[in-house]
Amino acid sequence: MWRAEAGGVVRSPLLALEQLDSVPDWDRFLAVHERGVRMVPRLRQRVVEAPLGLGTPRWSVDPEFDLRFHVRRARLPDGGGWPALLEAAAQLAMSPFDRARPPWEAVLYEGLPDGRAAYVLKMHHSATDGLGAVQLLSLLHSPRREPDPAQSRQEVVPAGQTSGLGVLAHQVRHDVAALPSAVLGAGSVAFGALSNPVHTLRSASRYGSSLMRVLTPPDVAASPLLAGRGRRWRFAAVDVPLPELRAAARTAGGTVNDAYLAALLGGYRRYHAALGVPVETIPMAMPISVRRPGDPGGGNRITGARFGAPVGVADPKARIARIRALTLAVRGEPALGSIGLMSTGLARLPGQVSTQIVAAMTKANDLQASFLPGPRDSRYLAGARLERVYPYAPLPGCPAMITLVTHRDVACVGVNFDPVAFTEPELFTDCLLEGFAEVLALHCPSARPIART
């Protein structure tokens, strides 16, 4: 992700946009981030490359780390409201990081109606995946509005520092140390093949077939309506009642994620129908977390799945059932983790090469969608209560990247889309709302999604 962004074509930021019930005290707000920097080593680390880009980059403490370069405040135009906030957040997302500093920024936006404020945290995707970002936000939040003296006494977590030559030396040591294990592993595989050749051949055949399915793009034509690609991002935010969405999923034997994907595809179906270009299926991708209990916070522990998504299924109940079958099938692939293993090899390649490989895998998708569990109880940031949190993932060359995070009894949906692909942006947002409404109607016809405007 880090090297693919070097060419300026691919951007890889993750954003969390939080609505707060009031403007936080600025001194407390700064203190929260000072504590976060002490507790999370990644926040004070930058990326260091080896000479000539050899080997994989490494994280290293920034010897000139200064919180003032990472935390700031801004005021929205009078009367701008949510449209101005979403535009400011999209501009922040599209702005490149200073690659000589730790790749994250936090902005407190004042000027929302009724005295509310917004907090936007932007991090490079190479630092963490979506669940890692949720974990980080939980460290910045507090369970109560009042200051907690215990939080200010958190100890500094140590983090290492290295140079470009140090990165190269580490790569050499790592490869040399891994060689005996590779030899032993190869010997073990050879011994197993000789001792039980039939089983070995069957296992290899199953894995090989799975690998072909995982690495081969779905045999689905891309939508001709979404063929355009630009370099601008546009944000939308949607609130969906979570209990009703969960109940709607149960009516079709699916999960919340299945109902969520069915709603998105329903929106796609309506958008295509409204513009007179109906489609039956589209190529779609979704990240799958391989994070386990006990894994350290941060980092990227995800793999990906691609499949033909059933846009043309008009019945939302049947659509949920179809999506359920598709997602179970892709999650059960033995070779699903191979995409994650490929990233190790991609990290060794020059930025231009890795950019071409990554772009080829992602720009063919018409939709990427992700689902994240969020906080279930009341949380506060420097004395301000968290009312909503909208996630925005990078747009890797596809028309839309849509992410849902649960917050108490609301499913908060962050929509990042390309206005060159979706030439009727307002219509697209309206169609997504209708897609959620038809899924919610499976349980509660009166339940309605709300777009933040």
Tell me the sheet residues that pair with 75. Answer: 110
The single-letter code of the amino acid at 184 is L
In which residue are the tokens 């932007």 written? 122
CA 96 to chain centre: 17
Phi and psi torsions of 159, nearest 5° = -145, 145
Please check whether residue 44 is in contact with residue 161, taking contact to mean a CB–CB distance below 8 angstroms: no
What SS3 class is residue 328? helix
User: Hey, what's the torsion of the CAs at 122, 124, 129, 134, to 10 degrees?
Assistant: -20
What SS3 class is residue 41? helix
Cα separation of 269 and 275, whole Å?
10
Cα separation of 265 and 270, whole Å?
9
Tell me the sheet residues that pair with 371. Answer: 404
Q: How far is CA 49 from CA 55, 57, 66, 99, 153, in A?
A: 8, 5, 21, 11, 34
Per-residue tokens: 111 = 């000027």
Around Cβ 62, how many Cβ atoms within 10 Å?
19
State yes or no: is 443 an active-site residue: no
Catalytic residue, from 124, 125, 272, 407: name it: 125
Cα separation of 376 and 399, whole Å?
31
Q: Which residues are catalytic?
A: 125
